[in-house]
């Protein structure tokens, strides 16, 4: 292991967007936060200092952390938060990840301003499965609220309704030309005609899947979620919160200025229909247009456009990058993803539909975070923190995606349940979206693993027919996958990473409502199949 070391100071700093100045939580005063650069297989140590006045944790999104959940980051799942005035030295253990991942706060809604790119370069310089790019550029999609985001969070949790939507989307921290007071900061990508650029895109938005497109330019996708894909030529990209996409941009158009732009794909609910932009600016001797060409987009609710991009992703698969899809499945899981309602506390009404409270669940369980972390409770056998019988299947079945699911049909249960997997079990997990309250997409993210996405479709999963169409040859390897609205997605993985691993929807409002669960993967036999011990400086609750 070579070693890289970073220092992250989490603190308030002041930033202005949309003519509004506010102090917000950042790392090292930067927004977005500093990128981490590492090489495949390296050990990265990040010393995280909490100079804020509240708790925080940091998660290394997409890093599998072999046998070492201790630094993974989700608060009350694998650690107690880092309290004000203390620090935690996090060991970020890379293995086979290559390409783009990211890091973000994993505590309440702090990730809105506490995030950055995590770029993993090949071991040998420029050893890419595509022509060496002239330059590489991270592009992070983000969000800005004029309001204090913690207040936004507290308010919707108290009132039981949907959260307020943000005031702008951002490209590398900037709203772009179409928002007030924003022109000066607009992100410019300078390109030279004839050269190719590797764009490393992260969707760090809180609550929306995004479309992204560059006027006049097609792109070639070459990676996603820290793994290479077969080259995919496309004129737009769909990217879920949590997901990363690496693509090549060829500067092959008449030298000028062109807008890159991003806006929401939203199948339901309230959304912000504004467009964030950046500029692709060719080097050269020309008069730039006063308003560059804007790309056109699929409709906001164009589910098929959203899905068809994602469905075309394929693993690269060659000698150097082989694939290892589990073929003999030992464990079949079927998880329903639902938005639920619960009557408001007595004598009051809530802001959700029918004046009830919105919740979300997996197999009818709405997850409650415990007071001390599940990992510690598991490791030290502390009782009363979680229950072990998280259901493999929903408690009963119905027509999940019918037009109207009676709201009394299914009230969620609150609880902290884990599903226990034996070491090396081969898992097939079907996510089934339901039309309870609102059929909507769910970008599901699993910690500690990448998984193969072997199939997906609309409507109810058919256990006899749908598996016949699984792709077991070159399915994409991902760690976040959008389960389509009123549809299903099947993933496969081998439970070869012992530890405690969070599975949750990467829409922040949904995970706040309880759309998550935890896998405990037990130790196997032999020294390389056991969880490593905790570091001495684990934060205390
Ligand atoms: Cu990107 Cu559990 O998170
Ligand atoms: Cu969701």
Ligand nearest to the CA of 241: 1
Same domain, 213 and 355: no
Sign of CA dihedral 58, 239, 119, 322: positive
Domain count, the chain: 3
Kindly tell me if the per-residue pLDDT of 186 is higher than 90. Answer: yes
Domain of residue 108, residue span: 1-124
What does pTM read for this prediction?
Answer: 0.97
Burial class (CB in 10 A: 0-12, 13-18, 19+), 159: middle
Residue ranges around ligand 1 (CB below 6 Å): 59, 61, 74, 104, 106, 242, 445, 447, 502, 504, 506
Kindly indicate the confidence band of residue 154, based on its pLDDT and cuts at 50, 70 and 90: very high
Which region among 163-167, 210-214, 449-453 has the lowest average model confidence (pLDDT)? 163-167
444 C-alpha to ligand 2 centroid (Å):
7
Mean pLDDT of 236-259: 97
In 3D, which of 101, 122, 108 has the Cα closest to residue 41?
A: 122
Which region among 8-12, 77-81, 267-271, 525-529 has the lowest average model confidence (pLDDT)? 267-271
The reported pLDDT for the residue numbered 406 is 78
Same domain, 310 and 352: no
Which pLDDT tens digit goes with each residue over 68-92? 999 999 999 999 999 999 999 999 9
**Ligand 1 atom 3 nearest Cα:** 61
Kindly tell me if the per-residue pLDDT of 109 is higher than 90. Answer: yes
Kindly tell me if the per-residue pLDDT of 268 is higher than 80. Answer: no
496 belongs to a structural domain: yes
Kindly tell me if the per-residue pLDDT of 367 is higher than 70. Answer: yes
18 C-alpha to ligand 1 centroid (Å):
28
Mean pLDDT of 273-282: 97
User: Last residue of some domain: 108, 124, 140?
Assistant: 124
Ligand nearest to the CA of 209: 2
Ligand nearest to the CA of 105: 1
Ligand nearest to the CA of 503: 1
The reported pLDDT for the residue numbered 1 is 53
Index of the ligand 1 atom closest to the CA of residue 62: 1
Index of the ligand 1 atom closest to the CA of residue 111: 1
Question: Going edge to edge, which strands form the sheet with 477-478?
Answer: 413-415, 365-367, 357-362, 331-342, 426-433, 487-494, 451-458, 477-478
The reported pLDDT for the residue numbered 465 is 97
365 C-alpha to ligand 2 centroid (Å):
14
479 belongs to a structural domain: yes
Same domain, 417 and 354: yes
Index of the ligand 1 atom closest to the CA of residue 74: 2
Beta carbons of 541 and 373 less than 8 angstroms apart:
yes
534 belongs to a structural domain: no
Index of the ligand 1 atom closest to the CA of residue 102: 1
Distance CA 59, CA 57 (A): 7
Which region among 11-25, 134-148, 260-274, 475-489 has the lowest average model confidence (pLDDT)? 260-274
Kindly indicate the confidence band of residue 32, based on its pLDDT and cuts at 50, 70 and 90: very high
Same domain, 115 and 134: no
Ligand nearest to the CA of 358: 2
Index of the ligand 1 atom closest to the CA of residue 242: 1
Kindly tell me if the per-residue pLDDT of 530 is higher than 80. Answer: yes
Same domain, 293 and 337: no
Which pLDDT tens digit goes with each residue over 283-303? 999 999 989 999 999 999 999
539 belongs to a structural domain: no
Helix, strand or coil, per DSSP, at residue 209: strand
Q: CA separation (Å) from 520 to 377, 418, 529?
A: 11, 7, 14
Index of the ligand 1 atom closest to the CA of residue 504: 2
Kindly indicate the confidence band of residue 271, based on its pLDDT and cuts at 50, 70 and 90: confident
362 C-alpha to ligand 2 centroid (Å):
10
Kindly indicate the confidence band of residue 505, based on its pLDDT and cuts at 50, 70 and 90: very high
User: Last residue of some domain: 124, 158, 182?
Assistant: 124
Residues 6+ apart with CB under 8 A from 114: 10, 25, 26, 27, 33, 56, 58, 104, 105
505 C-alpha to ligand 2 centroid (Å):
5
Q: What is the ipTM of this complex?
A: 0.98
Distance CA 471, CA 114 (A): 37
67 C-alpha to ligand 1 centroid (Å):
18
Mean pLDDT of 227-232: 98
User: Last residue of some domain: 98, 124, 150?
Assistant: 124
249 C-alpha to ligand 1 centroid (Å):
28
Distance CA 197, CA 51 (A): 37
For 88, what's the count of Cα atoms within 13 Å in the CB-facing half-sphere?
25
Question: Going edge to edge, which strands form the sheet with 36-39?
Answer: 36-39, 115-121, 99-105, 58-61
Same domain, 372 and 516: yes
Which region among 97-101, 260-264, 300-304, 513-517 has the lowest average model confidence (pLDDT)? 300-304
Kindly tell me if the per-residue pLDDT of 344 is higher than 80. Answer: yes
3-state secondary structure 362-392: ECCEEECCCCCCHHHHHHCCCCCCCECECCC
538 belongs to a structural domain: no
Index of the ligand 1 atom closest to the CA of residue 502: 2
CATH number at residue 413: 2.60.40.420
Same domain, 1 and 66: yes
Same domain, 343 and 464: yes
37 C-alpha to ligand 1 centroid (Å):
19
Index of the ligand 1 atom closest to the CA of residue 73: 2
407 C-alpha to ligand 2 centroid (Å):
18
- Give me 331's structure tokens: 């464990």
321 belongs to a structural domain: no
Mean of pLDDT over the chain: 96
320 belongs to a structural domain: no
Ligand nearest to the CA of 436: 2
229 C-alpha to ligand 2 centroid (Å):
25
The reported pLDDT for the residue numbered 346 is 77
Residues 6+ apart with CB under 8 A from 151: none
Kindly tell me if the per-residue pLDDT of 193 is higher than 70. Answer: yes
Cis status of the peptide bond prior to 32, with omega within 30 of 0: yes
């Amino acid at each position: 292991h070579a070693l890289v070391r970073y220092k992250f100071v989490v603190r308030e700093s002041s930033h202005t967007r949309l003519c509004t100045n506010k102090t917000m939580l950042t790392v090292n005063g930067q927004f977005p936060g500093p990128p981490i650069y590492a090489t495949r297989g390296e050990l990265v140590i990040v010393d995280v200092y909490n100079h804020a006045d509240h708790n925080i944790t940091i998660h290394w999104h997409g890093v599998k952390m072999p046998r070492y959940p201790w630094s993974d980051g989700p608060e009350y799942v694998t650690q107690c938060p880092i309290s004000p005035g203390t620090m935690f030295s996090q060991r970020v253990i890379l293995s086979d990840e290559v390409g783009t991942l990211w890091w973000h706060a994993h505590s309440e809604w702090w990730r809105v301003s506490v995030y950055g790119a995590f770029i993993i370069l090949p071991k040998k310089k420029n050893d890419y499965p595509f022509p060496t790019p002239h330059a590489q550029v991270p592009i992070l999609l983000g969000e800005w609220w004029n309001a204090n985001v913690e207040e936004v969070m507290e308010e919707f949790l108290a009132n039981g309704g949907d959260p307020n939507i943000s005031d702008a989307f951002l490209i590398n921290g900037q709203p772009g030309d179409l928002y007030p007071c924003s022109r000066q900061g607009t992100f410019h990508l300078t390109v030279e005609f004839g050269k190719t650029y590797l764009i490393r895109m992260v969707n760090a938005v809180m609550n929306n899947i995004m479309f992204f497109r560059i006027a006049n330019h097609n792109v070639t996708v070459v990676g996603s979620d820290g793994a290479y894909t077969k080259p995919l030529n496309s004129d737009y990209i769909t990217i879920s919160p949590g997901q990363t996409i690496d693509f090549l941009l060829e500067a092959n158009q008449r030298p000028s200025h062109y807008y890159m732009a991003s806006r929401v794909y939203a199948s339901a609910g309230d959304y912000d229909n504004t467009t964030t932009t950046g500029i692709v600016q060719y080097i050269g001797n020309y008069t730039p247009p006063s308003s560059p060409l804007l790309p056109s987009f699929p409709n906001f609710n164009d589910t098929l456009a959203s899905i068809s991009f994602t469905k075309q992703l394929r693993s690269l698969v060659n000698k150097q990058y082989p694939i290892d899809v589990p073929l003999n499945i030992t464990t079949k899981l079927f998880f329903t993803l639902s938005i639920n309602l619960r009557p408001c506390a007595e004598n009051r009404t809530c802001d959700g539909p029918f004046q009830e409270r919105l919740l979300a669940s997996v197999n009818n369980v709405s997850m409650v975070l415990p007071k001390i972390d599940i990992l510690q409770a598991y490791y030290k056998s502390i009782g009363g923190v979680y229950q072990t019988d998280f259901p493999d299947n929903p408690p009963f079945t119905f027509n999940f995606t019918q037009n109207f699911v009676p709201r009394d049909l299914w009230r969620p249960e609150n609880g902290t349940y884990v599903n226990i997997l034996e070491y090396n079990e081969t898992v097939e997990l079907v996510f089934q979206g339901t039309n309870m309250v609102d059929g909507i997409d769910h970008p599901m993210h699993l910690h500690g693993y990448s998984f193969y996405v072997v199939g997906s479709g609309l409507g109810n999963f058919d256990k006899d027919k749908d598996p016949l169409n699984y792709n077991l040859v070159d399915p994409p390897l991902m760690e976040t996958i959008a389960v389509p609205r009123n549809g299903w997605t099947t993933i496969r993985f081998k439970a070869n990473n012992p530890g405690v691993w969070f599975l949750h929807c990467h829409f922040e409002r949904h995970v706040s409502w309880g759309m998550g669960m935890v896998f405990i993967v037990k130790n196997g036999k032999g020294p390389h199949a056991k969880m490593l011990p905790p570091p001495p400086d684990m934060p205390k609750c």
